[in-house]
Amino acid sequence: MKAMTLLDSRALPPQPLPAPVSAALAAAFPSSGRGELTGRLEARVREIAFPRHHSQAEANGRAAAIVTRWLSFLPFVKNLDGHGNILAGTREGLANPAFLLVSHYDSVAASPGADDNGAPLAAMTEAAAALAKSFPGMPLLCLATNREEEGLLGSDKFVRRQIGELGLKIGEAHVLEMIGYRSFEPGSQRYPEGFPSAGLPDCGDFIALIGNPKAEAALRRVVSCPEPYRDIPAIGLIIGDDAGALPADIFRSDHVPFWDKGYGAVQWTDTAYYRNPNYHAATDTPDTLDYGFLASVTNLIAVAGAEFWFRMVTMRDDDSTSKRNAESFH
C-alpha cells in the first residue's frame, strides 16, 4: 500500500447510513437538542480546563476524579494500575470486540488544556452516553489515558500490557486528540513541511482523521457520511505501510501504540498547532473553542460507533442464519 491516501468529504459521494442507524442517531441527537449538547460540552470543558500535568499530583488526580465521574453512567469504571489510565464501558465491551474511544486527560504543566485535551474528553463522554443509550448491548469502551504528554506512556502501557491483562478485544479504536478549534479565516490552516497539501483547504474549518490500513473502512465511512449527520467538512488520511518519509507530526499521539501493535485505529484531530495558535500555551482556554464544531464532531463519533455496532449485529445475524441453513441442509 502506498505511503498515504487522502480522502476529502467534498469530493466523495455520500454513502447513506443503514436505516436502523439513521433512526437511532436521529433520536440520540435531535436537531432540537443541539443547543443542549453544545451547552453540555462547554460545561464539561470549563470544568476540566486547568493545568493537570502528571507532575502536578493534586491537579492530575482531580482531573482523573472528574473523568471518572463523567463516565460513571457506564456499567463499569475502573482505575487501572500504573500510569493512571481510566477504563469504562459496557459489560459486553469486556467480552467482545469493542468500539473503543480514547482521550488523554493530562495537559502540559503551563496550560489549562481546553483543546488539549478537554474538548476530546467532553466529546468522548457525550458520544459514549448516546451510544450506550441508543444501542443496548453494544460492546463499548472508553479509555482516558494519562501521561500522553510524556511520550504516550499511558496508552503505550494500555496497549502493551493492560489489553492482555484484562482479556480485552479491540474491534476498532478512535483516538480523540484536540477537536474543538475551528477557524473560517483564509490561511488559518497550515500543513507539515513536505506534506502533499495541494488542493486541501487553507481554512481550518474541517475535522481531520488519520488511520492505518486496518481502519480504512471505518475512516471512509466517517468521511463519506451524508448530511445532516456530517455537517462539517472531513479530511481523511490513510497511512500505508511505507510511511517512513511522512512528517513525524503524524505519529505524535495515542493512536501510535495501537498502530504499532496492529490494531485498527483512527486519530481525530483539528490538527493542533497547524491550526490552533494556543497549542500547549496558557491561552488554551475554554473561550477559544468553537462548541458548535465540537458538537458536530461528537455527532460524527457517534456515527462511527453506530455503524460499527450495525456491522457487528449484521455479521452476527448472518452467521446465525448460515448455521441454521447448514443444519437444515444436513
pTM: predicted TM-score of the whole model, two decimal places: 0.94
Q: Decide which of 283 and 25 is more confident.
A: 283
Model confidence pLDDT, tens digit, residues 233-261: 999 999 987 656 677 888 889 999 999 99
Name every residue whose Cβ is closer than 8 Å to that of residue 83 and which is 6 or more positions away in sequence. Answer: 54, 145, 146, 147, 153, 154, 157
Tell me how far CA of residue 204 lies from CA of 6, 273, 289, 322, in angstroms. 17, 11, 13, 48
Tell me the H-state helices in 29-73. 34-48, 57-70
Mean pLDDT of 291-317: 93
**Residue 319, pLDDT score:** 59
Q: Cα(102)–Cα(80) distance, rounded to whole angstroms?
A: 14
Model confidence pLDDT, tens digit, residues 76-116: 999 998 899 999 999 999 999 999 999 999 999 999 999 99
